[in-house]
Structure 1
Amino acid sequence: MILILVILVGITVSVTIFFHIPYSRTKAEFLRLADNGLSAAAPSNDVFTSEDWKALPSPVRKYFETSGWTGTPKMSSMKAVFKGVDFILSPKKPAIQIDYTQYNFSERPARIALIETSMYGIPFQGLDSYVEGKGSMKGVLAKLFTLFNQQGGEMDQACLVTFLSESLLLPSAAIQSCIAWEPIDDTHARAVIACYGITAGGIFSFNDNGECLSFTTDDRTAIGMDGSKQRVRWSALMKDYKQIDGVRQPTRLQAVWHYDSGDLVYFDSRNFRVEYSYSMTIK
Structure 2
Amino acid sequence: MTFLTSQTSSFYILLFILFVFLLPGSIFYAYYRFNKRVNKQAEFLFNLSGNTEKLVSQEDLRHLPQIVRQYVLKVGVLGKCKDCHAIIKQSGNIRQEKNKRWMAFTAKQFMSAKPLGFVWAARSFPIFVMDKSIAGEGETNVSFLGYLSLASEHSPKTHQSALGRCLGELVLYPVGFLNKDISWEIIDETSVKATIVQNHTSIEGVFYFDENGLINRFVTSRYRGDSIEKFTGKIMGYEQKAGLLVPTELNATWNLKEGDFEYFNCKIIHYKVE
TM-score of Structure 1 vs Structure 2, range by shorter chain? 0.7 to 0.9
2:12 alignment partner in structure 1: 5
Q: Secondary structure at the match of 1:166?
A: helix
Counterpart of 2:35 in 1: which secondary structure? helix
Secondary structure of the residue aligned to 1:172 is helix
In proportion to residue count, which structure has more helix? Answer: 2
Question: What is the CA–CA distance in structure 2 between the aligned matches of 1:8 and 1:261, rounded to whole Å?
Answer: 52
Unpaired runs of at least 5, structure 2 = 1-7
For residues 98 and 257 of structure 1, do their structure 2 counterparts lie closer, same or farther at Cα, with a shift above 3 Å needed?
same
Matched AA of 2:96: L
C-alpha distance in structure 1 between counterparts of 2:244 and 2:115, whole Å = 25
Say if 1:239 and 1:252, in contact at 8 Å, map to a contact too. yes
C-alpha distance 254-137 of structure 1, shift in aligned 2 (>3 A): same
Tell whether the 8 Å contact from 1:232 to 1:259 is kept in structure 2 after alignment: yes
1:199 to 185, 188, 202: 202
Moved more, 268-277 or 12-21: 12-21
Task: Name the aligned partner's letter for residue 190 of structure 2.
Answer: T
Letter in 2 for 1:60: V
Higher deviation after alignment, 207-216 or 102-111? 102-111
Give the counterpart of 1:222 among 221, 224, 229: 224
Q: Which residue type is aligned with residue 159 of structure 1?
A: A
Q: Distance in 1 between matches of 2:30 and 2:148?
A: 17
1:97 match: 104
| Structure-to-structure mapping, 1:1-283, within 5 angstroms | 1-2=8-9, 5-6=12-13, 8-10=15-17, 12-13=19-20, 14-21=22-29, 23-83=31-91, 85-118=92-125, 123-218=126-221, 220-223=222-225, 229-277=226-274
Superposed CA offset, 1:62-97 (max 9, x none): 2112223223332432111113x1111344221111
Q: Is the 8 A contact 1:78 1:170 kept in 2?
A: yes
CA distance in 1, matches of 2:161, 2:66: 27
Q: Which moved more, 1:235-244 or 1:181-190?
A: 235-244
Alignment deviations for residues 99-148 of structure 1 (CA, whole Å, 9 cap, x no partner): 11111222223211101121xxxx22111122243211111113311111
CA distance in 1, matches of 2:40, 2:223: 28
After the TM superposition, which segments of 4 or more aligned residues of structure 1 sit over 6 Å from their partners?
Answer: none
**Percent identity over the alignment?**
21
Q: Which amino acid aligns with 2:109?
A: Q
- 1:270 deviates by 1.9
**Bigger mean CA offset, 90-99 vs 239-248:** 239-248
| Whole-angstrom distance in 1 between the partners of 2:204 and 2:102 | 29
1:246–1:132 Cα change, 3 Å:
closer
Q: Amino acid of the residue matched to residue 168 of structure 2?
A: S
Bigger RCO of structures 1 and 2 (CA < 8 A, at least 6 apart) = 1
Q: How does the TM-score come out when normalised to structure 1?
A: 0.85
Kept in 1: contact 2:117–2:166 (CA 8 A)? yes
TM superposition score normalised by structure 2: 0.88
Tell me the number of residue pairs that the alignment of Structure 1 and Structure 2 aligns. 266
Structure-1 separation of matches of 2:268 and 2:51: 29
Residue number in structure 1 paired with 2:3: none
- Distance between the aligned counterparts of 2:238 and 2:247, measured in 1? 4
Over aligned residue pairs, what C-alpha RMSD do you find? 2.1
Does 153-162 or 243-252 show the bigger shift?
243-252
d(CA) in 2 for partners of 1:245 and 1:172? 13
Cα distance in 1 for residues equivalent to 2:36 and 2:118: 16
Q: What is the Cα deviation at residue 36 of structure 1?
A: 2.2
Give the Å deviation of 1:182. Answer: 0.8
**Which sections of structure 1, spanning at least 5 residues, go unmatched?**
224-228, 278-283
